[in-house]
């Protein structure tokens, strides 16, 4: 397991989260000023200096449950509200998109280019906010400094760590199914054609050498694919042409998007098992969350501006149905551990875990249609 994987995992999943939220904000016709505020608040929190300092410390990956807690806090760092079913769907879409990108990386090192693509697009969301833009650029520089000198073997270890993290996730996403890059069982279809990794030759030739290192024979074979040479290597600088398109925004306005997602009962069972199974790293995970959340400054909404609810489904009825079919054991708001030896630490962890709780606003007893109309009136 690589101890340098966590920043890449967090930043790429965070980039996918912002892509999805941006698309849903546009789809629900949220006014531009509110949409910009949501994205600015989330990005500012995500790239907070203290938070990044904790994130970039060498450390092993923790469970999906622990990481999800961070993203739930991020998603609620502004005036936007997500119901539990929509948060489930958001996290599923994030993880499956980045898993596909990791699988398609021509070289292990290219996962860094995928990260740069995410950050490049994020900078486009905040082009009118120079302070936040400076935060993202500082993270860019940290990535270049820390990962720029890693060997191919170290990047291979990072890629394997990511694949281990994603290996049990086989959630079907309608966009991937429509593009025929995912099978009905949730597994991805990897291509046997296209550009080869930069710096490598096209397959189809075997060279044989003698003990003096001289080439003595060549044998050609049919590889069965349709490969082409890579045009050029992508830039690993702060500004430059990445060449690789993995990690760019697939929810852009130029492409029709349907964010409907469905998962099998087997996947739900695996999530349930992870949530209720005793975890020997539970205490370490909570300490990890404590350190990260200590650096994450969640800004309280100020002023009379009302919040609003964002729906990741195509309708309120679809969201309600997803909530009803969600297993009760899937709880992401409580982590059960025994840590009674250190009273001061218990009080600190209790305070932090208390901040994770998202309190529901009491709503009057009115119909769903009236509630939706009231919400739109507020906008």
Could you tell me the two tokens for 244? 């690789």
Question: What total of structural domains would you count in the chain?
Answer: 1
Whether residue 144 lies inside any domain: the answer is yes
Residue 9: what pLDDT? 96
The count of C-alpha atoms lying within 13 angstroms of the C-alpha of 329, restricted to the half-sphere facing its C-beta, is: 10
In this predicted structure, the answer to whether residue 277 has a pLDDT above a threshold of 80 is no
In this predicted structure, the answer to whether residue 78 has a pLDDT above a threshold of 70 is yes
In this predicted structure, the answer to whether residue 25 has a pLDDT above a threshold of 80 is yes
Whether residue 280 lies inside any domain: the answer is no
Whether residue 347 lies inside any domain: the answer is yes
Q: Which domain holds residue 61?
A: 5-188+238-259+306-356
In this predicted structure, the answer to whether residue 337 has a pLDDT above a threshold of 60 is no
Whether residue 273 lies inside any domain: the answer is no
With cut-offs at 50, 70 and 90, classify the pLDDT of residue 265: very low
With cut-offs at 50, 70 and 90, classify the pLDDT of residue 251: confident
Between these two residues, 24 and 336, which has the higher pLDDT value?
24
In this predicted structure, the answer to whether residue 318 has a pLDDT above a threshold of 80 is no
With cut-offs at 50, 70 and 90, classify the pLDDT of residue 255: low
Residue 275: what pLDDT? 43
Range of lowest pLDDT (39-43, 219-223, 348-352): 348-352
With cut-offs at 50, 70 and 90, classify the pLDDT of residue 82: confident
Region 315-328: mean pLDDT is 65
Whether residue 233 lies inside any domain: the answer is no
Residue 310: what pLDDT? 81
Q: Torsions phi, psi of 217, nearest 5?
A: -160, 150
Residue 298: what pLDDT? 60
Whether residue 120 lies inside any domain: the answer is yes
Between these two residues, 44 and 350, which has the higher pLDDT value?
44
Whether residue 289 lies inside any domain: the answer is no
pTM of the model: 0.76
User: What is the distance between the alpha carbons of residues 181 and 12, in angstroms, rounded to a whole number?
Assistant: 20
Whether residue 274 lies inside any domain: the answer is no
């Amino acid at each position: 397991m690589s101890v340098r994987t966590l920043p890449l995992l967090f930043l790429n999943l965070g980039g996918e989260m912002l892509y999805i939220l941006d698309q849903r904000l546009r789809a629900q016709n949220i006014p531009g000023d509110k949409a910009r505020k949501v994205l600015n608040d989330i990005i500012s929190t995500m790239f907070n200096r203290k938070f990044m300092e904790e994130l970039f410390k060498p450390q092993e990956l923790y469970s999906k449950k622990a990481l999800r807690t961070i993203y739930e806090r991020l998603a609620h760092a502004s005036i936007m509200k997500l119901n539990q079913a929509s948060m489930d769907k958001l996290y599923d879409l994030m993880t499956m998109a980045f898993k596909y990108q990791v699988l398609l990386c021509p070289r292990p090192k290219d996962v860094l280019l995928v990260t740069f693509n995410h950050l490049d697009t994020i900078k486009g969301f905040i082009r009118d906010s120079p302070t936040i833009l400076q935060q993202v650029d500082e993270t860019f520089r940290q990535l270049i400094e820390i990962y720029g000198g890693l060997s191919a073997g170290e990047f291979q270890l990072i890629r394997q760590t990511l694949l281990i993290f994603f290996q049990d996730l086989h959630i079907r996403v309608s966009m991937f199914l429509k593009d025929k890059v995912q099978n009905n069982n949730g597994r991805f279809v990897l291509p046997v054609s296209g550009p080869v990794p930069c710096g490598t030759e096209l397959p189809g030739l075997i060279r044989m050498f003698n003990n003096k290192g001289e080439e003595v024979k060549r044998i050609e074979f049919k590889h069965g694919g349709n490969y082409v040479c890579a045009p050029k290597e992508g830039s690993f600088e702060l500004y430059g042409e990445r060449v690789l398109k993995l990690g760019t925004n697939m929810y852009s306005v130029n492409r029709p998007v349907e964010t409907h997602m469905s998962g099998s009962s087997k996947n739900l069972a695996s999530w349930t098992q992870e949530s209720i199974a005793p975890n020997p790293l539970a205490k370490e995970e909570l300490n990890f969350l404590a350190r990260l959340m200590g650096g994450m400054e969640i800004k309280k909404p100020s002023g009379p501006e009302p919040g609003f609810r964002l729906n990741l489904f195509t309708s309120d009825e679809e969201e309600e149905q997803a909530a009803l079919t969600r297993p009760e054991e899937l709880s992401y708001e409580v982590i059960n551990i025994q840590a009674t030896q250190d009273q001061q630490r218990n009080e600190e962890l209790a305070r932090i875990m208390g901040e994770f709780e998202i309190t529901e606003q009491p709503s009057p007893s009115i119909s769903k249609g009236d509630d939706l109309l009231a919400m739109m009136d507020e906008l």
